Structure 1
Amino acid sequence: MLAIKTAIIGLGIMGQRMLEHMLLHPEFVVDTIWDPNSAACRSAQKLAPDALIASNAEAALSNVDLVYLACPPAPRKAYALTASAQGKAVFLEKPLGVDVAESRVLVRELTAAGVPTAVNFTQAAGRALTDISAGSKVGALGDLMGIDIIVTYPHWPRAWQQTADWLRFRNEGGMTREVISHFLFLSERILGPLELVWAEPEYPPKGNLCETHVAARLVNGAGLPVMIMGSVGGAQPDRQEVTIKGSKTSRRISEFTIDTVSSGGQFEPSSSNPTDTRATVLKAQLDDMVLLMNGKPNRLATIQEALSVQILIEGILSGQRAS
């Protein structure tokens, strides 16, 4: 098979991170790149000197098989539909969007276009989720009891995100969309579809900045709970933790990839833990993108799964409660 010619639109933190990993992957060629920020384009081209900096987003699509969209949420729909209308495969960053009605249209139109599509929930093809999902299906955890999600940060955006200024504003940013969405995706993969019972977000009293605290309870069809607690502030390290609770054993994923297990005592490294680093996770995502492009079964997040997560996330941010 020929290498998958790819255009990357959006060359911020995630766009450049994916660019680096595509350059390392033998089945991808980064053909064109574009970002409205010329400095970001120059920075990205230092990583990929053979890639062409397109004159605009539409021009970036003309000669590729796959379009990877790492731009902020608002413009993603237009770019994705332009790409799919040309028969290009589409790989979107999460969240799928911030307007649920618009995202429903996006999912409907991408489905009608019939092109390969996926959303980059980075745990989807990771070893930890794959192992826990398989284990839960064969009873390795015993009876599932629910999931706890805890995220805490001293500052938001985090230090390495400061150049992505949109992340601090309520209309597109915030830890709930950026981080908790990953863990709700994981939760639905394990427990099935979730329904929001109640949510309590807290925002700064002035301006349009994003949430500083959030608490929420969701349940699956069997009534198993997913509890969320998130906060920003205080002298502390980042904490990103999901605990899948079972009557026999529980599994905890920390910092997206550190997989540990407990049978009632301290959480200890699981057998799948040692090599599951960010690099191997992103390679796994790209390996599964190759499968998707070839019409084969894969573990990537579908646009339908991403829409389900978005509906939950936007409900949490609006303080929605079940009727």
Structure 2
Amino acid sequence: MRSRTDRPDPLRLGIVALGAMGVEMLTAAASHPEYTVVRASDIDPAAIDRVRTAHPAVTFTTDAQEIIQSPDVDAVYIATPPMFHADLAIAAMGAGKAVFCEKPLAISLADGRRMVRAASERGAVGAVNFALSDRDAVLEVERGLTAGEVGEVCGIDIRLSFPRWPREFQAGAAWLAGRDQGGFVREVLSHFVYLTDRLLGPLDPVDVGIDTPFADPRASEVAARGFLRAGKVPVHVSAFSGVAGPELYEWILWGTRRSYLLRNWGELLVSDGGGWQPVTLVGPRGSEATRLSLFADVVRGENPRCLADFETALRVQTVVEAFHHADVGTADLVGPVTRISAAAS
């Protein structure tokens, strides 16, 4: 592998949408040695005004197509609401750009398949930004699995709780509160589906479903439960929003010799049969900056394992949408129901 000191000129990056993630990626890329942010867009001029002063070298626009079609852009980062991902990504790949997209890949499974097909047909780079891709805690669990320290994997538990949804930092993203493209299953559970898929293989939803508020079935879910399998390994999901309790993110891998608890995105604990003990982690924690480095590797012909391609993200999307649809093979509509179960089909 080439050292980063031997890299060619920085990649010229265009950013589409300047919400919470768009601004975070803009900040990370602006100080990243492998990137020059040349253009950024948002349909809301106020969003542009909030960042323009801090980034005087960036050309801002309200038209995403100016970024996609610009000859001075090598790669496009897409941070729009997910229903717009497919058309923007396919247009960008058609214009010869590499694409780094926020998760979920899409809402419609047909759109997700279109994205995978377009990347394959054009030989384009397409990657998706899952926060756990290169987290140090994840790499340590991966190492333990590879070394055989876990023994036989007995199961996975995924537990999520939210006193408030959308979360406070997402208050400006109204779409997250709706069922058509929002909710914590798509926004948060998708990260842990990706993690399980990566470490144990593709997941099969056996019996999954959501509850939405009876008063407003168009609102995002207030509960999700699921039984899935990764091969022979059982995977259980239990998640709630609007509850009196702490915000919680837990992913537990149960093994016959060693078990791991990943809590709140970066805290890793281990048990060899007794109580949970904290794990001291070394190396970079993993961040938007490190994932930008991985994306640059992909654009320049390398293939890091710690970054999801569109095919991986489509597997994750299919599992996530199973919580919303009884038949994930054909259903691309999101209807106003209060409870759905894949086991009912």
In the TM superposition, residue 271 of structure 1 has moved relative to its aligned partner by 2.8
Give CA-to-partner distance per residue, 1:11-50, whole Å, 9 cap, x none: 0001101111112211111110001111111112233221
What is the CA–CA distance in structure 2 between the aligned matches of 1:87 and 1:44, rounded to whole Å?
A: 27
Q: 1:144, CA displacement in angstroms?
A: 0.9
How far did residue 297 of structure 1 move?
2.2
Give the superposition deviation at 1:163: 0.4
Q: Does 1:321 align with 2:343?
A: yes
Residue 209 of structure 1 is matched in structure 2 by: 219
CA contact (8 A) 1:194 1:218 kept: yes
Residue 158 of structure 1, CA deviation: 0.7
Q: Which residue of 2 aligns with 1:52?
A: 59
Structure 1: any 5+ residue segments left out of the alignment?
none
What is the RMSD of the two structures over their aligned residues, measured on CA atoms?
A: 1.5
Q: Secondary structure at the match of 1:226?
A: strand
Instruction: Tell me by how many angstroms 1:274 deviates.
Output: 8.6
Partner in structure 2 of residue 153 of structure 1: 162
Please give the residue correspondences for 1:72-221 in structure 2 after superposition, counting only pairs within 5 Å: 72-207=81-216, 208-221=218-231
Q: Is the 8 A contact 1:10 1:34 kept in 2?
A: yes
SS at match of 1:242: strand
Task: Give the conservation status (yes or no) of the 8 Å contact 1:195–1:219.
Answer: yes
Structure 1 residue 233: deviation in Å?
A: 2.0
Alpha-carbon offset, residue 55 of structure 1 = 4.4
The amino acid that maps onto 1:186 is L
SS at match of 1:75: helix
Aligned residue identity for 1:16: V
Change (3 A) 1:267 1:164: same
Partner of 1:22: 29
SS at match of 2:121: helix
Letter of the 1:161 counterpart: Q
| Residue identity in the other structure for 1:285 | R
**How far off is 1:237 after superposition?**
1.8
1:322 Cα deviation (Å)?
A: 7.9
2:287 alignment partner, SS class? helix
In 2, Cα distance between equivalents of 1:240 and 1:322: 28
Moved more, 256-265 or 212-221: 256-265
Partner Cα separation in structure 1 for residue 287 and residue 344 of structure 2? 35
- Paired residues of 1:6 and 1:68 also in contact (CA < 8 A): yes
Contact 1:128 1:273 in 2 (8 A): no
Q: How many residues align?
A: 319
Conserved 8 A contact 2:163-2:246: yes
Instruction: Pick from 307, 316, 320 the counterpart of residue 300 of structure 1.
Output: 307
> Which residue of structure 2 aligns with residue 8 of structure 1?
15
Q: Distance in 2 between matches of 1:55 and 1:316?
A: 34
State the Cα distance separating 1:304 from its structure 2 match: 0.5
Mapped to 2, the partners of 1:30 and 1:268 lie a distance apart of: 42
Counterpart in the other structure of 2:42: 35
Moved over 3 A (4+): none
Gaps of 5+ in 2: 1-7, 326-340
Match of 1:311 among 308, 318, 321: 318
Q: TM-score, length-normalised on structure 2?
A: 0.89
Report if the CA contact (8 A) 1:20-1:47 is conserved. Answer: no
Percent identity for Structure 1 against Structure 2: 33
Contact 1:33–1:54 (Cα < 8 Å) also in 2: yes
Q: Could you tell me which amino acid in structure 2 is paired with residue 185 of structure 1?
A: Y
Tell me, in whole angstroms, the C-alpha distance in 2 between the residues paired with 1:156 and 1:257: 21
